[in-house]
Structure 1
Amino acid sequence: MTKIYGIKTCDSCRKASKALGVALHDIRIEPLSRAEIERFHREFGAALVNTRSTTWRGLSEAERDEDPISLLMAHPTLMKRPVIERDGKLLLGWGKDVQAELLG
């Protein structure tokens, strides 16, 4: 079973959803639980927070220094995306390496 977590306005998320034939779990509409964010953070660490995003640039220095889990709960669009789960394995992004692994 495959799940894709992201936002519907994200090009990478739309491409992954189309290529894999799987509906997107829009984290803006259905926010992730703290446990899900913690699981993703354990797997990807600092890479889970997209420090190149518009949302990140809009944060104050004090906000940027907050716990990453709390930041992602307050600002879901800070999550690098998509996060793809297949058979319990988590993958981050829609780069050529992820595409090769999922599409063969």
Structure 2
Amino acid sequence: MTRAPRIMRIFLLKTCDTCRKALKALRDAGHDPEVVDIRADGIPQAEIARFHAEFGNRLVNRSARIWRDLDDAERAEDPVTLIGRHPTLMKRPVIDDGATLHLGWTEEARAALL
């Protein structure tokens, strides 16, 4: 039985410099990831829940402008619901290499993916 090839997906914001660097590096390394722009395409709630199960509260980008604009009641909401309503609150990129999830374009992510 042959296995289907793993599909790499990168969840990003097309206007984010770090996301663009990650996508370019992945492509330069021979990967052809499926690109999901979190603002234009949205993120399915099930994916947000999966990311949150993996990364916990690290998934919420507390340095985002939108985070600073939220009131205390909104900040106290369930992170999955909050990111569903405000996708740009998600730290990015999130890269699913088909076996492992990676959060951010960190040294560890680069070592694992390039």
Matches within 5 A, 1:1-104: 1-21=7-27, 22-103=33-114
Name the Cα RMSD after superposition.
Answer: 1.0
TM-score, with length taken from structure 2: 0.86
Contact 1:40 1:48 in 2 (8 A): yes
What is the letter of the counterpart of residue 26 of structure 2? L
Could you list the per-position Cα deviations for residues 62-104 of structure 1 after superposition, in whole angstroms to 9, with x for gaps in the alignment? 110011111000100000000000023100000112111111x
Q: Which structure has the greater CA radius of gyration? A: 2
Contact 1:17 1:23 in 2 (8 A): no
Work out the CA distance in 2 between the residues paired with 1:9 and 1:16.
12
Between the two proteins, what is the percent identity of the paired residues?
52
> Secondary structure at the residue paired with 1:91?
strand
Work out the CA distance in 1 between the residues paired with 2:16 and 2:35.
11
Contact 1:83 1:90 in 2 (8 A): yes
Gaps of 5+ in 1: none
Contact 2:61 2:89 in 1 (8 A): yes
> Secondary structure at the residue paired with 1:12?
helix
Contact 1:49 1:68 in 2 (8 A): yes
Gaps of 5+ in 2: 1-6, 28-32
